[in-house]
């Protein structure tokens, strides 16, 4: 009881700190939208036209919504997709006005990514966005993808503006017209864009360490807006706020309390009996039991009756079901899964040894499904306690 009370107090303290930071940063952004630090004047005292003032306000609104969406994604709440979409819309308006057309296009792509990811999350079984960790395999993919995206941005940034200037609007600004250093400004802008693409994909999918990657994006943006590209005090502060908040959310997730249990063992070993005997204890301690089989009982019986005909398809189905169950563990502070994916890798290889898979199925399993499921397992948060049940002694 005392432990539960302490946990509740800790949770309230963390939430209070989070809301305080959001409120503080939001006030700062609203202030920056109406006050020019360089001239030390409010916008209604300056000679700027109303459109320029409105655009600055949109930049601040985008920053405010960005902070809210970051927090919601950190809490794995689906409403984060809506807030992040609004954030991108306001930012697109600012970027088009500033002549950064490729950045505006990029934010439009963000919106498409969020719509697709939201649709996939809604189709899944989990209530919230799953939580993944960055493995070495994913890190290699991130590096290769990031390098390719960087090169695309670096060489297409000037071309996009030229195409718009030639085909749509002759007076549209040339890319880099206001850069103090064209080469380094282009490098920093392409770095910021490519890193933000990777970070957004990781964040919307549910990778926990995406906040650190956002920090690299923020550093590149701060350098760009500090005068290497052009000077914009508001955007420097917005990116500094984002980086501070990202570091805080990374710390929050690193200290998140989640404990996972797994029971694994061969069929008829008695593990389900043990879990059933512990059910009252597990319920009392708010430990969610995630059942062993999602697959229809008839499918399982057909599999047991004829391994050669049904073995391959049923094993693939088992892996898909188990992956859904492991993702479901993200919804609970304490969870127990009856059998784990590491247990399932034994059975397809055994069926291959027994010659129940044909040549095509063996190739698909070894070079497509097995590597895919190994990567998906590598990005799952590790199980804290694993119980291997060999046999219950009578």
Rounded (to 5) percent helix, strand, coil in the chain:
70, 5, 25
User: Domain 259-388 belongs to what topology?
Assistant: Rossmann fold (3.40.50)
- Which parts of the chain sit beneath pLDDT 70? 1-15, 30, 33-34, 36-38, 43-50, 74, 76, 99, 120, 123-130, 161, 165, 167-173, 256, 266-269, 292-296, 343, 391-394
pLDDT recorded at residue 327: 80
Long-range interactions of 368-377: CB distance < 8 A, separation 24+: 369/316, 369/319, 370/345, 373/319, 373/323, 373/341, 373/345, 374/345, 375/135, 375/137, 375/138, 376/323, 377/326, 377/341, 377/342
pLDDT recorded at residue 1: 45
Report the Cα–Cα distance between both ends of the chain, in Å, rounded: 36
pLDDT recorded at residue 141: 86
Widest CA span in the chain: 89
Exposed, middle or buried by CB within 10 Å (0-12, 13-18, 19+), for 281? exposed
How far lies 35's CA from each of 9, 51, 236, 259, in Å?
39, 16, 14, 47
Residue 206 backbone dihedrals phi, psi, to 5 degrees:
120, 20
Pseudo-torsion of CA 380, 65, 214, 38, nearest 10°?
A: -170
Helix or strand run (H / E) with residue 260: strand 259-264
According to DSSP, the residues that pair with 132 across neighbouring strands are 207
Helix or strand run (H / E) with residue 338: strand 334-338
pLDDT over 70 for what percent of the chain? 81
Question: Domain map of the chain by residue range?
Answer: 2-254, 259-388
The bridge status of strand 41-42 relative to strand 35-36 is antiparallel
pLDDT recorded at residue 38: 66
Q: What is the DSSP letter of 329?
A: G
pLDDT recorded at residue 2: 42
- Pull the structure tokens for residue 132: 């993944």
């Amino acid at each position: 009881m005392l432990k539960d009370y302490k946990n509740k107090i800790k949770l309230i303290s963390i939430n209070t700190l989070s809301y305080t930071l959001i409120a503080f940063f939001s006030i700062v952004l609203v202030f920056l939208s109406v006050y020019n630090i360089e001239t030390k004047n409010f916008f209604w005292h300056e000679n700027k036209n109303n459109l320029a003032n409105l655009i600055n306000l949109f930049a601040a609104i985008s920053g405010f919504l960005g902070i809210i969406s970051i927090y919601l994604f950190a809490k794995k709440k689906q409403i984060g997709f809506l807030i992040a979409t609004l954030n991108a819309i306001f930012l697109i308006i600012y970027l088009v006005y500033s002549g950064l057309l490729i950045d505006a296009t990029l934010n439009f792509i963000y919106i498409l990514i969020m719509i697709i990811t939201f649709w996939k999350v809604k189709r899944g079984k989990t209530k919230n966005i799953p939580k993944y960790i960055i493995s070495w395999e994913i890190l290699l993919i991130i590096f290769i993808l990031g390098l390719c995206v960087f090169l695309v941005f670096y060489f297409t940034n000037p071309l996009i503006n030229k195409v718009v200037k030639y085909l749509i609007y002759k007076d549209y600004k040339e890319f880099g017209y206001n850069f103090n250093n064209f080469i380094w400004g282009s490098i920093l802008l392409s770095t910021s864009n490519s890193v933000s693409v990777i970070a957004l994909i990781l964040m919307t999918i549910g990778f926990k360490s995406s906040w650190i990657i956002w920090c690299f994006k923020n550093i590149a943006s701060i350098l760009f807006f500090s005068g290497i590209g052009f000077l914009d005090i508001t955007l420097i502060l917005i990116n500094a706020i984002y980086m501070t908040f990202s570091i805080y959310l990374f710390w929050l997730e690193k200290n998140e309390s989640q404990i996972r249990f797994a029971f694994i063992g061969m069929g008829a070993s008695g593990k389900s009996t043990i879990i059933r005997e512990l059910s009252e204890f597990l319920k009392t301690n708010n430990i969610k039991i995630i059942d062993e089989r999602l697959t229809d009982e008839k499918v399982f019986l057909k599999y047991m009756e004829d391994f050669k005909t049904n073995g391959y398809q049923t094993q693939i189905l088992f892996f898909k079901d188990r992956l859904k169950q492991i993702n479901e563990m993200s919804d609970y502070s304490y969870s127990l899964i009856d059998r784990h994916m590491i247990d399932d890798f034994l059975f397809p290889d055994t069926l291959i040894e027994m010659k129940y898979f044909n040549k095509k199925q063996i190739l698909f399993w070894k070079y497509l499904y097995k590597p895919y499921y190994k990567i998906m397992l590598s990005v799952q948060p590790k199980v804290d306690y694993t119980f291997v049940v060999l046999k219950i002694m009578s």
